[in-house]
Amino acid sequence: MKFTRKSLVAGAVLVASVVLGATAYGFWTTSGTGTGSAVTGTTAGVTVTQAGTTTGLYPGGPAAPVNFNINNPGPGNQYVSTVTVAMTGVTGPNISATRPCTTAEFVLTQPAAINTDLPVGSTSFSPSGSTIALTNTAVNQDGCKSATVALSFTAA
């Protein structure tokens, strides 16, 4: 069989194409691992403040409402189940050793359960269900005239 120069070149090109083609389809295999993360936010404590002033208490008189606002400064909704109101003391110009006025002379009703996701900002609870009354102890209560009952609020 006689090979011409043209056929030899064509054959060489064919062989080179096959070799290069096989090389072009060669690849490396590997495996690996990686890590990543996602960070959650955190809560910001809510603040509870009395809404308005509770006034007009007198011995044996009707209970007056104790309304409040809850401020959520967080970046999103926060769940509050309850607010507890406590009397922390009584001060006044007429309180003395002979004319006392103590928290024992007052009746405080706790507010209704909150059980809600509070949006960012201030939410009013009026009526809250909380009330305060000055009981009639059947003794002189002049010490309680113009008295102020200090209240604290705790959200949970």
pLDDT, tens digit, 9 for 90 and up, residues 101-135: 999 999 999 999 999 999 999 999 999 999 999 99
Strand 83-91 versus strand 148-155 pairing type: antiparallel
Task: Print burial letters for 34-44: b (CB count within 10 Å at least 16), e (below 16).
Answer: eeeeeeeeeee
CA 125/CA 67 separation, integer angstroms: 6
pLDDT, tens digit, 9 for 90 and up, residues 15-37: 656 555 555 556 777 877 777 77
* Structural domain spans, the chain: 47-155
Instruction: Answer for the pair 48, 114: CB distance below 8 angstroms, yes or no.
Output: no
pLDDT of 61 higher than 90: yes
CA 4/CA 2 separation, integer angstroms: 7
Q: Identify the pLDDT of residue 10.
A: 63
SS3 18: helix
CA separation (Å) from 76 to 41, 49, 98, 144? 9, 20, 52, 43
Mean pLDDT, all residues of the chain: 88
Q: Identify the pLDDT of residue 34.
A: 76
